[in-house]
Chains A and B, each alone.
Chain A
Amino acid sequence: MKALSINNLKKEYAGGLQALKGIDLEVSQGDFFALLGPNGAGKSTTIGIISSLVTKTSGQVKILDIDIDENHSLAKKKLGVVGQEVNFNQFEKVGDIIRNQAGYHGLSFKDARENAKYYMQKLDIWDKRNDQARKLSGGMKRRVMVAKALVNNPELLILDEPTAGVDIELRRSLWDFLTEINNEGTTIILTTHYLEEAERLCRNIAIIDSGEIVENTSMQELLTRLEEETFVFDLKNPLQTLPKNLGYAAVLENPQKLKITIGKGQGLNTIFEVLSDSGIQISSMRNDTGRLEELFMGLVDSNLNGSER
């Protein structure tokens, strides 16, 4: 069974802007799926249509094989959405916000209270339950959003840039939490501008640009398409000039930072040998940019060039 099936989905706004040009998308049950794209690509419109915040022009959307037009109520029961912006009444108490959301889904008072408590504890906001939401930090508000989206135990959770503008500590704790609930069976669709986030969390990926899906594959398959990768080496001893016979495209960023780009299929062992032979000692090494980011830019650029043609 597919957690989400989108068939020929189109959205044309008043004024003629075609936000979605007939996209097809399938997300398997249990998947952790990334929906990426530049600003204005159509990600939020797609999510808006799935969650009934945006009216589609045409096409079909099914949540766990339930058509949202035919059985809107049942389809929605299986869905949780974390929107891009804070969308709760900030004058209410945190506990009330989350319990009320459970109530809107028809949960009993007891279940609503228990679910709210469970997710507030999981997301470390239990001690804030009696605080007015407006007094929370941005990161805390994000946690409230996530707890609110999960309080009805949805089978499909959609997160629209959940970590935008939050500190790294929260981001990482949210990653761990999302991985945990995904392992427990919740299908997750994530949109984000942090590509390392998608690379780290997601198994499958679709890239949307100008209202069209330009790539839809597994993360692993996509990453194998990288032609070259750049690594940054932190040097133990300062280096004033680069040795001439390194045999790699190398740039000395500063006396203690060396960047080397290697092609697909080239092993790292030989680099270490060459550096060692040149008397260069390495203290640490990392990727220069996210591998996914390079691919993403390539795909979006080629789509842009195609559009211009």
Chain B
Amino acid sequence: MTPLEQYRALLTIIYKEIHRFMRIWTQTLIPPAIMIILYFVIFGTLIGKRIGQMGGFDYMQFMIPGLIMMSVISNSYSNVVSSFFGQKFARSIEELLITPLPHYLILLGWVLGGVARGLLVGAIVTLVSLWFYDLSVSNWTLSIFVVISTSILFSLGGFLNALFAESFDDISIIPTFIMQPLIYLGGVFYSIQLLPSFWQTVSLANPILYMINAFRYSILGASDLEALGFSINSAIFMIIGFIVLFAFICLWFLHKGRGIRT
């Protein structure tokens, strides 16, 4: 395929993916907004007032970056895993496999579809947040970089999950048993400085902690990372490293036909 043909094919996949999640907007866009409103009402307004300050900020202010990242992570992941596995399940993945599309375009198309949903939901959550709290952004460039790169990373994760999934149960195991605990224990609702030293050390093994804190730093200008002796750059390098690793693994398994070819 010529570069122009590849570009057109990529646009087709992205268009199809965006069209898919927009078609079912009541399942994909509204629930995150409702969930975030509930978080703000319960944890922000009701409980948050009693908590007072967290990490040097109002509790609601502290919580907002984490909630935005939580939405971006879970929606990027779930968009790709459900869409790609759905295509496998319905055998419509064959539509792509019989075409001249190279594997990296298939991967890129799905990842960008996941990023599109992750960013859209992130934007919705941000808008909802502004309704509850007057938020200002400390570092726009870093903020955009972290949110997009994290979305790419979890879209790749969703793709990998979908490649290996053989049933609908398989696409809910990782989000339920691995991702959700890591997100909730990654400092969305609390500063890990509150934890005893041992659990702080354990928490540092959670990669999502670095992403949430890098994003919190970009919004608020401070996060747990510096307090614990880590620079924001280390979080950025870690995200990039994971993206490269996951992309390589996805391409390898696509090339091998794992889960998509007999």
Residues of A within 8 A of B (CB): 13, 48, 51-55, 72-77, 79, 81, 83, 85-91, 96, 100-101, 103-109, 148, 152
Least CB distance, A159 to chain B, in whole angstroms: 13
Total of A-B residue pairs, C-beta within 8 Å: 87
Contact B100 A72 (CB under 8 A): yes
- Selected from B11, B100, B257, B261, the residue in CB contact (under 8 A) with A77 is B100
B94: chain A residues within 8 A (beta carbon): 51, 53, 83, 87
Complex CA distance for A177 and B94, rounded to whole angstroms: 24
Asked whether B5 is an interface residue with its Cβ less than 8 Å from the other chain, the reply is yes
B13: chain A residues within 8 A (beta carbon): 104
Asked whether B200 is an interface residue with its Cβ less than 8 Å from the other chain, the reply is no
Known contacts A85-B91, A104-B12; is A51 also within 8 Å of B100 by CB?
Answer: no
Complex CA distance for A152 and B100, rounded to whole angstroms: 11
Least CB distance, B82 to chain A, in whole angstroms: 13
Complex: chain B residue closest to A108, CB-CB: B8
Main secondary structure of the interface of B (DSSP, over half): helix
Asked whether B16 is an interface residue with its Cβ less than 8 Å from the other chain, the reply is yes
Asked whether B202 is an interface residue with its Cβ less than 8 Å from the other chain, the reply is no
Complex: chain A residue closest to B5, CB-CB: A106
- Selected from B15, B19, B95, the residue in CB contact (under 8 A) with A87 is B95
Complex CA distance for A211 and B87, rounded to whole angstroms: 30
Known contacts A48-B262, A104-B9, A107-B8; is A88 also within 8 Å of B95 by CB?
Answer: yes
Complex CA distance for A72 and B106, rounded to whole angstroms: 15
- Selected from B9, B98, B101, B261, the residue in CB contact (under 8 A) with A55 is B261
Q: Can you list 13 A-B contacts (CB < 8 A)?
A: A51-B94, A51-B97, A53-B262, A55-B257, A73-B102, A77-B1, A87-B91, A88-B90, A101-B99, A104-B96, A106-B4, A106-B6, A106-B100
Proximity string of chain B (1-36) to chain A, C-beta cutoff 8 Å, 1 when within and 0 when not = 110111011011101100100010000000000000
B86: chain A residues within 8 A (beta carbon): 89
Q: Which of B216-262 contact A (CB under 8 A)?
A: 257, 261-262
Least CB distance, B101 to chain A, in whole angstroms: 6
Contact B98 A52 (CB under 8 A): yes
Complex: chain B residue closest to A81, CB-CB: B98
Contact A104 B95 (CB under 8 A): yes
Complex: chain B residue closest to A152, CB-CB: B99
